Structure formats: C-alpha cells, structure tokens
Structure 1
C-alpha cells in the first residue's frame, strides 16, 4: 500500500512525507517496527504509545498514524486520524476487500480459539489457509489478523470475539465473513450483557449482512442457538449430538487416550479419531468437518487433518509428571461452561489416583458473580470430583456450595497461587490427576509451573 492510498482509506490527513511511500508492514508494538513499517500508536489505560513515534521513525519505520502531537521527522509519513484504533479498523476493512477469498468468521462465548484451530486443520487438507494468530480476536486483534492476508492464500479462518455492545458490528465491517460459526452461548461477559439472550443477540450479529448465499453453522446442542436457528435469514447447519443435527456424533468413547466417535452426516457416516479429550472437542471436530464439507472437502479427508492436530498450550494441555501424576493445564481462561468441560476431560483421564480440581476466580460475571460461583459449586459437587482446591475471593462461594451440598468432598481455599501450590505439592499423591483452571487475570499457570518444577524429573507434555 502507498501512504496516499492509506490516507484515503482511513479518511486521514497527510501531515508530512511522500504519499508514494510504500508501506509493507503494520505494527502496534514499537519493538516490531522496521523498514517499510507503519506504526499505529494505541492509547492504552496506562501508556499512550504516541510517545514512541520518534523512536520508531529513528529505527527505520516508514510512517505513523497519530491522533495528536507534532511531526517529529518531516521526511517520514505522518498521517493524522481522529482515533488510531478506529483508523486501523477502517484500513483493515479496505485491505480485506483487496482479496477475493472466502472468510470463515468464528464467534461464541467459549471455545473460539480451539474451534478456529480445528476448522483450519480440516481446511488445510485442501486449501492454503490463513488463520488468526493465537487469540487476536478483538477490535485491535482482528485488524492485525486481516493485515496478514496475502496473495496465494485461498481461505481465511478468523476469530471474532466481543465483550461489549456494538463490537460485533465493527468486526463484521472489518471482516465481512462469508461463512459464520457460533460455538455456544454461555455466561461469559454477563457483566456487560446482563443475560445470555443479550449475549446471543450480539454474537449473531456476525450474520447481519448474510443472504441466501451465505451459511451459518450453529451448535445444535445449545438450547438458545437451536431456538434461534428457526428464525435465521440464511441457511443454517446444525452440529452436535442431539437428534436433528445435520452433523451428529454418536458412539463417543475414549480409545488409547483419544476421543473417538461416529460422524453421521447427510451423505453418510465416518469414524473419527481426535487427540483432544472432552465433549466440547467432539463438537469442534463436527463443525470443522461440516465447514470443510461446505467447501468441497469430504469428511474422509478432513478427518485426517483433525487426527494430526495436537492442541494449544494452556488449553486442556495434559502434562504427564513423575509418580504417575497428571496435570491438565487449562489456565488460559475460564467461564462456568468451560470449567464443566475441563472437569469432563479430567474424568476421562485414565489414572489410578484421585481427581482433583484447582479452580480460581471466574472474572467478568458482574453482580451475579457470587451466585454463579455458588451454582457452579453445586454442579461441581455432583460431578464426582474427589477434592476441590480454590484460589481467590469469588471462588469462596463455590467452596461454600461444595460444603453445603453435603457430598463430603474435601475443599481447601487459598488467597494466592503460591499458597495453593505449596499445599498441593505437600498433598498430591502418586497417580493423582489435577485440573488447573481460572480466568486469565488469575494467572493459574503459576500453579502448573510449580507442579511441573516439583514433579519434573520425568515430565513430558
């Protein structure tokens, strides 16, 4: 792109520099700026990255966006915009339209990243794909993802996450997905949306521009999404285990430590094996196969890509430690639904010892936080877990529910990861399996690290 094209795309003003300057790279991290880069300074809660403008230009960057301040190098491109984040979104939308390739947009309350990875694994068996790196699914992350589109790619799989009203409208404007996937509607971000019906309404805006030419894939096991399917204005494909799902899993079982199931789909059936445990990963595999079939890849081929997929760090990653101890690192994030899926995976582990859960606060549940934690505790008490360890103030509600349930499950509560880790190190027994989970802000990876270091003489992941 030239600076002049960018100015026009973002409705900005060129304050300095040559409009014919070629921009080859977009970055928001000053450390990533290089020759040919356009640096976009983000104004954060603590740092205004405009203060790095002079530095990145000295280091060779070709130009910058700026919403305030003075030109620091008259020979370099300076583009004045109203808001750097909004301008980046406008530029991403303009850039996306340069490519005539199908884009699969993925949203949902939980499981977006793992679903994205599995869809990509299935599509890679037939196409050259581009996917969201990590979980760059925000108002900033999605534009950065779109800037990675390039000639030679045939398809893009893009994660689209929201936590506030109006955000999906922006993401749809940037991405313009051709196909949409909605994983589920859960209790994530209730502080912002108030109730799950509002969450669903916002998530389904991913299809706001869809016509009969587009298609949406909905989780048929999710009551809210199944109900919404009847009123969609575009073709709907349901995936799940319930009757009536277009892509349905039957005979789900564990074999040699792997998830196995029979896929029933309109044209036939297929035996599928994936490495990831848990019911939710069966659903991920179903929609991955369904999306691949939509683009002409037969399930018999798509399942080969899924069988090779190894999963993501901090997302139900199973660590085999010494003394037969197994630790499930599910510390990336948490919601009530994902805690239950983590416990499901814990129960699927073949270990001779106890099943122990280490649960830290689930954040962003708003005024309902205490009640949601308490209700989840009642469900955990019914799950057959042998011991519960909690970290944080909110999880004390879950601990109370465990006690109130009368199930006799031992529960220990701690205020810090360090205290919980020390207790676990002193109380874990040979053959125990431990699930460690909490919201990102609780940093439960610290607990996993402590266990790995203590029982690491034969550790392997």
Structure 2
C-alpha cells in the first residue's frame, strides 16, 4: 500500500504537508480523466505550453487530496491535502513507477520496434491468458507517459506482464528501460516509421535496443539486415555481464539459419500455415490471417511460446483461434439519432477507463449508456471489481448500464447509483431488447471478445452506404499539438470548424477540440454555431458570416459575430438594444489588402465611436485575413498586410481603451511566419493534416480517409466502351471494377477518363469513363485478384488528398468540403 509518506521517501521529496494516510492506488496525470478522487495521486506535468499545476485547485475541490508538485504551494491553501515537493514531476513519475516495478519478480515481456507492437502484445495476451494472470499496456500506451501508467497497474496477483515501448528521439529508452525492466524482449521489426528524430535506421535500432540491457532473452527476426547487425553488436556489449546472466538471442528467419527457421508459408483462403524447424524438430502453426504483417507478428508470438516451453499442440490450437485486434475506438451513427462507440473486442479496467474518457467527450446527446460484458481476469474479487467499475461509471456521469454476463449480473447490487439492467448472455440481450428503447443517446459497446458484442453493434448501428469517410480523431489531436508546439505559451488558438469542419463533421470535431483545450471555435454561419451549442459545446464561437436574419439565434445561443461593415454593425446594434443586452462580445474584421470583407483605415474613427457608444459591445478580438501566407513569392505582400494590421489594430484598441485579442496568422503563417502569431492564431486546413505551404507536412498526419467498395468486376474485350457517352475505350482486353461512389458523393466529374485514380489492393487504378451520380468504373486490368467487396481508397493512407486535388485541378479544401452529407462519417480514436 502506498501513502503520501511512503511515496515521499521513494522520491526523496519534501513532504510539505501531511494531513492523513489515505491509500494511493491511481496515478492521475490529466485532470480531465479523474475516476476515483479518494485514492488518486495527481502529478502535474509541465511542458512549454502547459503547466498542469493550474488544475490542482479544481481537483482538490473534487476530492483529490494527494499531490506531487514541483512548485511550492502556500501553506494552508489546501488544508486537507498531502503535498510532496520534487524538482521535476516527470522524473518523479518515472522514479516512482520504476520503484514499483522492482517490487515484482515475475516474467516481464518488453516489446519495441517500428510496427506491430500492440498487435503482438494483444495476441500474446490471447495466447497466454489461460496460463497466467496477465497485466499489459492498455491500448498502445508506449510513451514516456503511457509506459509508467501501464507498469503502475502491476499488482501482487499478476503472474506475467506485457508492456510495449516506443520512442520518438534519442535518450528516451533509458527512462523506459528502468521502468519496464523486461526479462524477455521482443523486437518486432524496423522501418521508416517515426524516423524524424534519428540520424539513420541504425541509430534508431540502437536506441530501441537499450530496452533489453538487463533482459534474459531477446527475440527478433534476422531478416532485417540493420536490425541483425545492431543486435549482434549490442549482444557483444551486454555479453560482458556475468555468464549466468548473459543475454540469450532467440532468432527466427525465412531466409537463413536461425533458432526458428521458417521453411514454408502457405496461404489458403483466409488461413496461413507456417512450417518451420525449431531445435532441428519440425513444427507448424496455422493462423486465421493471410497478410504479411499478421504472419510476421504471429511468428514473433510463436517464438515466445516456444521459449516458454508451451506444448506444440497447445500452440497450434491457440494460434488457430487468434482474433482481430481493435486498434481504435470507433464512433458511428446509430439508430434513432444515437451515436455508437464500438469497443467490442476486449474488456478490462484499463481499456474501460480509456473508452469512458472517449464517451465523456461526446456532448451531442444528453444520455450516456454503457453496454458492458463481464470483465475477465482482473485479479480482483468480483465484489471489489464491480464496485470499482460502478465508481468509474458514476464519476463519468453515465446514466444507464446494461450488464451482460453471469458475473456482472451477480454483482448488480454494486450498481445502485446507476440505472441498470442485466442479461446473462449476449443471446439473451438480443432476444429481449427492443431497439426502439434506444433514443438520442451516446452508447458505448464494451465487451470481451468471447461475448461477440459485434452482434450488438450491428443491431444498434444505422445501416450505412458502403462509401464512408473515416475521421482519425487521434491524428487531428496530434496535428493540433504539432502547431501548438510552435506557439508562445501565451498565444491562443482559434480552430476553424466552418463548412462542416472541412467536411469532417462539426460537433464531433468540436467535442475533441473542446476536450483538448482549444480557446475559440469559428463557424461560417450562425446555424452551425447553434448546432454546436445544442451538442453541448460551451467554447466561445465566432460566427464569420452573420446574417441579419440570424441575429436572434446569435443572441439566444451566445454566439459572437464578426462585424465587417458599418451597415452590419448598425443592424446588429438594433438587435442587441432590443434584446436589452450590454457588453455583448463581437469581433472586428479589418481589410488589410485582401479586399473581401472588413473595415478600412478611413472607417476606424467612426467605428471606434460607434463601438464605445451606449456600452452595447465588448470587442473580443480584432483580426484580418492573410491572402497569400503560404507563398514565399508573396512574402512582401504578406508583410505589408501584417504591418497595416498592426497599425490599424493598435489605433482601434487605443480608441477602445481596453485590451483586445489580435490575430491574423492562419495555418501556413503559424509555421512560416512565427512573428505574426500575436495574441491568437487561426488553425484551419492544417488541423486536418494538409499543409498548404508544404513546409510542415512531415509533422502532420492526414485525418480523413474516404473509402468505398467494389460492387462488380467484369471482363470486357478490346474495343468495348465503358460508361455514359462511351468516352473510354478498352485498348486491350480489360478488367473493369465498378465502385460505389459518384459525383453525388462529392467525387468530382473532372476526375473521369483516367484523370483520377484510386487504390485497390495497394495499387493505383485509373478511372475508366465518366463519373456517374452513384457509381464509377476503374480499370483494374493490371491488378490481380480484384473481387467484389474489395476495399477501395479514394484518398487517405497511401493516396493523399493533395494528389486527388491536383488531378482535379483544384485545392484540397474543395475536395474535403465537397464530400456529400450522404457519405457516412465514422470517427475513431487510436
């Protein structure tokens, strides 16, 4: 048991204040993710842009009484708190969890590599959970923060631990090695992923190998040349340890001699049989996958099972039943205006906490429901386990629980504070439930794999057109952070969610931005802002094109209009006066050279008089719009705009007599012209992973993937034509795939007749013929084995939206905003 006093001794910190000895069970790093206040220890981390010490006051009011801080706190400010002072809170976090790890003498598997870490970890859990009580990293928690949170989960009842570790720059793995201290190592592979922080592949391999400095064995594939050479060099270095503690290498290869020598890989339908020699004895496995990534991941798991001495029959039987791993939380549109969050592949406390955090972010529905299966292998007694689950549900404001399984049903008394109903099996639930009972709610479907909750997902999800736009919320959040890293700590961020958030969906994106602390939102029209308010968005919202007919809605929903002319100001003034409002927030647009909207220099004296009259308005910000910030050839013009804005905004603020936020920088200017940051920046297309200035793209991730499926494949002879107008003629006998997307979905007609291309089975296929309303045809003659139902990438991974825009003779903005509303949006968090 940990207390503030014992943690203070571990950290060699100064116990500034001690008022009790409550048991500390949870580490809290994000104030928004509080689950159990009484047993939580808050460690506020400090970065260039954010100092989490500012959240101590709020958490104290919510019942948190244990804090590790790096800034002194005035005596008596928190009379019932235990406060430990340290030099650096991140280092304290690492030191505490490293000490915690040393209390356990069990096998610990550490996994690193470029790809496959999470899959290997989850498959090992599936393969070994019958034999051990296992603790493992939740989802892909493998960073300087994720690893400590993972290892802190270790409890006396655990018999095996599996943790993954990832690094983004040199020097980081030293910290993770001290925390994980793996006894068994797996290096999955090495590639170009996350290469930016390293000089070359070998430096990255050597940095990752630090994880295995004190391991007993390292499992890896010899077929990666750089990896094999670095491992052998590393082995020679650490081989200087005492002989009984020397690092053992367990290798596998498809090309050369190895401990596990792969002889053949035979793919048949949806299964693969892999034959090998291990210690000169023939062995084999069969897995329900045929892709190369899964084959490689399975062989790593196989090697580990062999090292542990598992019988061949056991390995074969379990490998044959490996299941898909949900690498993300998906949110889809459900029946009866519901939102469905699908996480139906595993159920444990760690992943439940993550899923509940995602559910809590959703504000579009007043009611939040959780459909939850039995939680398997928690190591806790059923009573204490479900009491903890009940506390988590209550702390996250869950309105209704549907428990499925014999164990959770037996513990229904634990859930007295939440409206709940229970079923002993998924089958019983499906037989008795009435889908009409689910109305206007956000529903988390969270179950262990054996409960087959995907059947519940199919029942509740709205049947969708097979053309979908996937929105990666994790990528969007990372893009926001990438831009924030360029800003001064005092610079605010206004996020543009106009035009249906550049086609991505308004309230879903706004929910995420609100959760991540964006300062302002901007929409084009008032009805967009009203929709956000109705969906629970409380951030200030600027309306960029306020129409007189929308003034009542603006005032009713506390939206903030952009005013760009005296006529518009006078009209809005009348509405504010009639509504008996005072100091109503507005934003003033200045025209500095774009000549679209805005007040000009000669308007400023009269504008200031009008704004100061009667006390009707409070100017929140003064701003302007850069016309060509992405173009270095236009930098003189851009500088002229900026200088003009500085002069005009200073003059107007002086006449107003109070401080006002000033902003002019858009996405391109944030990284190209940092001197133009001022008080706030406006983040638009860059947030969605598109850098119009082409100098920051490698730091961004594309957020959207538009995909569809093949409806039919047919062979046509040379000379036959395809599509309306017979504009495309087969020059050779051809294979034509019809796919489910057309101009009504937003695929531009200019992309017909070979101008546009799509990805099928990893290869580009040109459009054959003109684009129809709901369908188009692709020439797939050069792509083997294309079949009905195959996935087709319109843009996304491997086919950037910028390429599509170039082929269409337009810009990515038009492509993204032109995607039809009939195309279903699927939101997911990695």
Residue matched to 1:345: none
Residues 408-454 of structure 1: per-residue CA shift (max 9 Å, x gap): 8539xxxxxxxxxx999754786342357649x99xxxx9xx99984
Instruction: Give the Å deviation of 1:226.
Output: 2.2
Moved more, 22-31 or 159-168: 22-31
Instruction: Give the Å deviation of 1:304.
Output: 3.3
**Contact 1:239–1:283 (8 Å) recurs in 2:** no
Pair 45,33 (structure 1): closer, same or farther in 2 beyond 3 Å: farther
Residue matched to 2:155: 150
Residue matched to 1:418: none
Asked if 1:179 is matched to 2:184, the reply is yes
Asked if 1:119 is matched to 2:124, the reply is yes
**Contact 1:42–1:85 (8 Å) recurs in 2:** yes
Instruction: Give the Å deviation of 1:134.
Output: 0.5
Q: 1:413-424 maps to which residues of 2 (within 5 A)?
A: none
Query: Equivalents in 2 of 1:53, 1:227: separation in Å?
Result: 49
Match of 1:165 among 162, 165, 170: 170
**Contact 1:7–1:13 (8 Å) recurs in 2:** yes
Residue matched to 2:350: none
Asked if 1:286 is matched to 2:299, the reply is yes
SS of 1:199 mapped into structure 2 = helix
When the two structures are aligned, how many residues end up with a matched partner? Answer: 379
Pair 303,4 (structure 1): closer, same or farther in 2 beyond 3 Å: farther
Query: Equivalents in 2 of 1:16, 1:433: separation in Å?
Result: 60
Match of 1:137 among 142, 154, 170: 142
Pair 322,245 (structure 1): closer, same or farther in 2 beyond 3 Å: farther
Query: Equivalents in 2 of 1:68, 1:19: separation in Å?
Result: 21
Pair 21,105 (structure 1): closer, same or farther in 2 beyond 3 Å: same
Q: 1:44-443 maps to which residues of 2 (within 5 A)?
A: 44=47, 46-71=49-74, 72-210=77-215, 214-231=216-233, 232=235, 233=239, 234-266=247-279, 268-314=281-327, 409-410=765-766, 427=776, 431-434=789-792, 438=797
SS of 2:105 mapped into structure 1 = coil
**Contact 2:147–2:165 (8 Å) recurs in 1:** yes
SS of 1:57 mapped into structure 2 = helix
Pair 330,294 (structure 1): closer, same or farther in 2 beyond 3 Å: farther
Moved more, 430-439 or 72-81: 430-439
Calculate the aligned-residue CA RMSD, in Å.
4.3
Match of 1:42 among 42, 45, 58: 45
**Contact 2:190–2:227 (8 Å) recurs in 1:** yes
**Contact 1:124–1:305 (8 Å) recurs in 2:** no
Query: Equivalents in 1 of 2:773, 2:281: separation in Å?
Result: 49
Query: Equivalents in 2 of 1:193, 1:48: separation in Å?
Result: 28
Gaps of 5+ in 1: 335-359, 371-385, 388-401, 412-421, 457-461
Query: Equivalents in 2 of 1:148, 1:219: separation in Å?
Result: 30
Query: Equivalents in 1 of 2:265, 2:57: separation in Å?
Result: 58
Query: Equivalents in 1 of 2:44, 2:92: separation in Å?
Result: 11
**Contact 1:119–1:285 (8 Å) recurs in 2:** no
SS of 1:198 mapped into structure 2 = helix
Instruction: Give the Å deviation of 1:136.
Output: 0.6
Pair 138,67 (structure 1): closer, same or farther in 2 beyond 3 Å: same
Pair 6,304 (structure 1): closer, same or farther in 2 beyond 3 Å: farther
Query: Equivalents in 1 of 2:282, 2:196: separation in Å?
Result: 42
Residue matched to 1:347: none
SS of 2:189 mapped into structure 1 = coil
Query: Equivalents in 2 of 1:53, 1:423: separation in Å?
Result: 58
Instruction: Give the Å deviation of 1:52.
Output: 1.7
Query: Equivalents in 2 of 1:330, 1:180: separation in Å?
Result: 34
**Contact 1:132–1:159 (8 Å) recurs in 2:** yes
**Contact 2:112–2:187 (8 Å) recurs in 1:** yes
Instruction: Give the Å deviation of 1:300.
Output: 2.6
**Contact 1:270–1:299 (8 Å) recurs in 2:** yes
Instruction: Give the Å deviation of 1:258.
Output: 2.8
**Contact 1:21–1:77 (8 Å) recurs in 2:** no
* TM-score of the superposed pair, with normalisation by structure 2: 0.41
Residue matched to 1:2: 3
Pair 455,255 (structure 1): closer, same or farther in 2 beyond 3 Å: farther
In our comparison, the structure showing a higher alpha carbon Rg is 2
Query: Equivalents in 2 of 1:423, 1:66: separation in Å?
Result: 62
Instruction: Give the Å deviation of 1:323.
Output: 11
Residue matched to 1:24: 25
Pair 62,21 (structure 1): closer, same or farther in 2 beyond 3 Å: same
* TM-score of the superposed pair, with normalisation by structure 1: 0.70
Instruction: Give the Å deviation of 1:131.
Output: 0.9
Instruction: Give the Å deviation of 1:326.
Output: 10
